[in-house]
Amino acid sequence: MSHGRARHALHRQGNAGHRLVPVPALTHHRIKEPHMLRREFVKYLTAGAAGQFILPVSGASAATPLNVVVIGGGMAGATAAKYLRVWARKLALDALVSVTIIDKSDQYVSNIMSNMVLTGEKTIANLTYTYASLKTKYGINFIKATVSSVDTANGWVYGKLNNTGSDILLNATPFNRLILATGISFDPSTFTLNVPSTVYANPWEAIPHAWQAGTQTTLLRNQLVNMTAGNHVAVTIPVSPYRCPPGPYERACVLADWLRVKKPGSKIYLIDPGQTADGRPPVEPNNFGYAFANIHKNLVYVQNARLTAVTGSLAGTTKFKTLSLVPNSATPLNTVNALASPTAVKVEVANVIPKMQAADLTRSVLGPAGLDADGRWAVVDERSYKSLVPKVYVIGDSIKSANQPKAGHIGNQQAKVCADAILRELSNVALYDAPVTNSACFTPVTTNLNSQYGAMASWLTATFRYGVDPTDNVSRMLRVSTNIESPGRPSKDNFSSMGKWFTSLMQDVYS
């Protein structure tokens, strides 16, 4: 995050006929202490999420047509598709750059703000976006299909058109660039599930993660609405890295607020495998630490706790689940809330968020050689997001990054760096040597139901620039400042600004 206005720049490439191409600017970072003023933060974000790139003022030429297939139409994929077309037009390459999005759904439900669906402050419809503008305004092709396999050598994508029938060839023209923006998948192998159910055909629906917005969100919302007052809720945090680091803490806060009013006597347990010396959350310790200690008296926060099993039954009138927990580390770091011995928590609603990894398709396309040592995340060059497989790029939550978090805003930023890199390659222009991304988000900590505090939120932001990491001499995205900027306390003003930030971000992606 540039503290103040984003600075724009034109980067002139002498070895390419002095073509002007879009480049990440944000070359100067002025850090204010102790934190950036909220109005500056909002002003920067609502100025336009594409602010770190400047559009070219003269065209570029290229002889080779570019057929790009983007698998995944979420925050990262849709942004990459849009800006490939936007910048291609500005570079007079419109006729040479074809972009196709393939996604199993013809609409996208935002994960951002989805915790507010659980509390009834928003609906799924409020968070649903279509690809209509991308198709009509930017000439992007869209195919609704479930992708089964990819022939990267020959540029073909296979899958089930409209998610039905047998696998067929989906793209009429072979791609010469593929962008995988498929997000995450879950690995529940770290715990056992034994909840025989006469209610759900799939036993995993008894413990919805609601970490992919849509059906899962509605499922968890219904379980919360139908629970008996005085019974309890548990939210389990997965091991890092996972999508949206503040998300589980935010969810615990807003659900605690909702339970206090809608389900008197009910508590919420937040189960965290991590731990800190002072017992405060490792993410936004000032904001969430304040909320846990001073606002949400019905929130029980347990650190150093690893989930090993969920047992119970939904048959008949029995609807409780028991979460078995053991210390994640043999050495608790505090005596405030760090688990020191095995225990169990009995709840009616169990929001279990499993361990995460790159989406199955991404791991399949890249193969073991294209993944990290654990076989979980895609290895990419963060200067372009090119993977180890020729012609294949990966953006968003599927990538392995030492510093960049997994979140919608950062996926939007990575997509622009990737689009810029692909167009530079098409135009025979060298890659920009120091692209910049910004991670930013707002997190509500209370709801409109709170008569004492009202609806309040916090925010945090961090800026990253590509460069050589002095710790190991490897080039990667590095945090510009060692501090992650955030306000000292949640506030009503931040809650109001959250709506502006969200609207601006989603317009940048889907409008």
Residue with tokens 């917005």: 213
Q: Which residues contact 321 (CB under 8 A, 6 or more apart)?
A: 195, 206, 207, 310, 311, 312, 346, 347, 348, 350
CA angle 55, 465, 495 (to 5 degrees): 80
CATH topology of domain 11-183+359-510: FAD/NAD(P)-binding domain (3.50.50)
Query: For residue 422, is pLDDT > 70?
Result: yes
Of the candidate ranges 145-159, 457-471, 474-488, the one whose mean pLDDT is the lowest: 474-488
- What type of residue is 270? L
Binned at pLDDT 50, 70 and 90, residue 488 comes out as: confident
Higher pLDDT, 203 or 42: 203
Q: What percent of the chain has pLDDT over 70?
A: 86
Backbone angles phi, psi at 492, to 5 degrees: -65, -35
362: part of which helix (H) or strand (E)?
helix 360-366
Q: Which residue has the higher pLDDT, 201 or 109?
A: 109
Element (H, E) at 86: helix 75-90
Nearest to 383 by CA among 427, 416, 428: 416
β-pair partners for 462:
439
Cα–Cα distance measured from residue 281 to residue 301, given in angstroms and rounded to the nearest whole number: 9
Q: From residue 484, how far is each of 15, 42, 470 by CA, in Å?
A: 38, 16, 20
Residue 271 backbone dihedrals phi, psi, to 5 degrees: -100, 115
Whether 187-356 and 11-183+359-510 are alike in CATH topology: the answer is yes
SS3 356: strand
| Residues sharing a CB contact under 8 Å with residue 488, sequence separation 6 or more, in sequence order | 34, 35, 286
> How many Cα atoms occupy the beta-carbon half-sphere of 468 within 13 Å?
3
Q: How far is CA 319 from CA 14, 300, 378, 420, 504, in A?
A: 69, 21, 39, 52, 42
The mean of the pLDDT values for the chain is: 89
Q: How is residue 22 written in tokens?
A: 């879009």
Q: How many residues make up the chain in this entry?
A: 511
Give the mean model confidence (pLDDT) for residues 301-317: 88
Instruction: Decide: residue 155, CB within 10 A, 0-12 exposed, 13-18 middle, 19+ buried.
Output: middle
1 vs 213, residue with greater confidence: 213
Q: Look at residue 31 in the predicted model and tell me its pLDDT.
A: 28
Q: Provide the 8-state DSSP code for 437.
A: E
Long-range contacts, stretch 332-338, CB < 8 angstroms, 24+ apart: 332/275, 332/303, 332/304, 333/275, 333/276, 333/277, 333/303, 333/304, 334/275, 334/276, 334/277, 334/278, 334/279, 334/303, 336/278, 336/279, 337/279, 337/301, 337/302, 337/303, 338/275, 338/279, 338/303, 338/304
Enumerate the domain spans of the chain.
Answer: 11-183+359-510, 187-356
**Under the phi-then-psi rule, with left for phi > 0, alpha for psi from -120 to 50, and beta for the rest, what region is 194?**
beta
Name the pTM for this structure: 0.90
Q: Which CATH superfamily is domain 187-356 in?
A: FAD/NAD(P)-binding domain (3.50.50.60)
pLDDT at residue 482, as a whole number? 67
- Pairing of β 355-358 and β 184-187: antiparallel
Name the band, by pLDDT with cuts 50, 70 and 90, for residue 196.
confident
State which of 31-35, 138-142, 317-321 shows the largest mean pLDDT: 138-142
Percent of the chain at pLDDT above 90?
81
Decide: helix, strand or coil at residue 69: strand
Cβ contact 227:260 at 8 Å:
no
Burial 63-96 (b: 16+ CB within 10 A, else e): eeebbbbbbbbbbbbbbbbbbbbbbbbbbebeeb
Query: What pLDDT is stored for residue 199 in this prediction?
Result: 75
Q: Of 395, 496, 447, nearest to 46 (Cα)? A: 496
Interior angle at CA 357, CA 351 and CA 360, nearest 5: 110
Q: What is the mean pLDDT of residues 368-393?
A: 98
Torsion angle, CA of 420/421/424/426, rounded to 10 degrees?
-110
Cα separation values, 204 from 19, 115, 209, 211, 354, Å: 54, 20, 9, 13, 11
Average the pLDDT over each of 43-47, 351-355, 506-510 and give the range with the smallest value.
43-47
pLDDT digits 0-9 by tens, 277-303: 999 999 999 999 999 999 999 999 999
Of 303, 318, 300, 118, which is closest to residue 214 (Cα–Cα)? 118
Three-state SS sequence of 164-221: CCCCEECCCCCCCEEEECCCEEEEHHHCEEECCCCCCCCHHHHCCCCCCCCHHHHHHH
pLDDT at site 63:
64
**Per-state percent for the chain, helix, strand, coil, to nearest 5:** 30, 30, 45
State the burial class of residue 474 (Cβ atoms within 10 Å of its Cβ: 0-12, 13-18, 19+).
exposed
pLDDT at position 11: 33
Q: Provide the residue type at 157 as one letter.
A: V
The predicted pLDDT at position 483 comes to 62
